[in-house]
Amino acid sequence: MTISSTSAVTVTGVTRRFGPVLALDDVTLEVGHGELVGLLGPNGAGKSTLLSLVSGQRRPDAGQVRLDGRDPRDPRARTALGLTPQETGLPATLRVREVVDFVAGHYPEPVPTDELLDQFGLTDLGRRQTGSLSGGQKRRLAVALSLVGRPRVVLLDEPTTGLDVSGRTALWDAIRQYHASGGTVLLTSHYLEEVQALAERVVVIDRGNVLADDSLQAVLSRVGMRRVQLTDAEGVRREHLVPDSDAFVRDLVTAGTPFRDLEIRGATLEEAFGELVGQGAEQAAGTTHAGVTTNEGALR
Ligand SMILES: Nc1ncnc2c1ncn2[C@@H]1O[C@H](COP(=O)(O)OP(=O)(O)OP(=O)(O)O)[C@@H](O)[C@H]1O
Residues 6+ apart with CB under 8 A from 19: none
User: Which segments of the chain belong to CATH 3.40.50.300?
Assistant: 9-89+134-219
Whole-number pLDDT of residue 290: 28
Exposed, middle or buried: residue 224 (CB in 10 Å: 0-12, 13-18, 19+)?
exposed
Measured in Å, residue 226 CA sits from the centre of ligand 1 at 35
Measured in Å, residue 46 CA sits from the centre of ligand 1 at 6
ipTM of the complex: 0.97
Instruction: Look over the chain and give the mean of its residue pLDDT values, rounded to a whole number.
Output: 85
Q: Assess whether the C-beta atom of 46 lies below 6 angstroms from ligand 1.
A: yes
- Domain 9-89+134-219 superfamily per CATH: P-loop containing nucleotide triphosphate hydrolases (3.40.50.300)
Residues 6+ apart with CB under 8 A from 91: 99, 130
pLDDT at 54 over 50: yes
State which H helix or E strand residue 231 sits in. strand 226-232
Residue-wise pLDDT tens digits, 22-31: 999 999 999 9
Q: Assess whether the C-beta atom of 60 lies below 6 angstroms from ligand 1.
A: no
Question: Are residues 56 and 67 in contact, defined by beta-carbon separation less than 8 angstroms?
Answer: yes
Percentage above 90 pLDDT, the chain: 57
For residue 59, the tally of other CB atoms under 10 A from its CB is 12
Measured in Å, residue 275 CA sits from the centre of ligand 1 at 22
Q: Assess whether the C-beta atom of 48 lies below 6 angstroms from ligand 1.
A: yes
Q: Assess whether the C-beta atom of 38 lies below 6 angstroms from ligand 1.
A: no
Question: Are residues 136 and 167 in contact, defined by beta-carbon separation less than 8 angstroms?
Answer: yes
Measured in Å, residue 161 CA sits from the centre of ligand 1 at 17
Residue-wise pLDDT tens digits, 81-97: 999 988 888 889 999 99
Whole-number pLDDT of residue 41: 86
Phi, psi of 236 (to 5 degrees): -90, 130
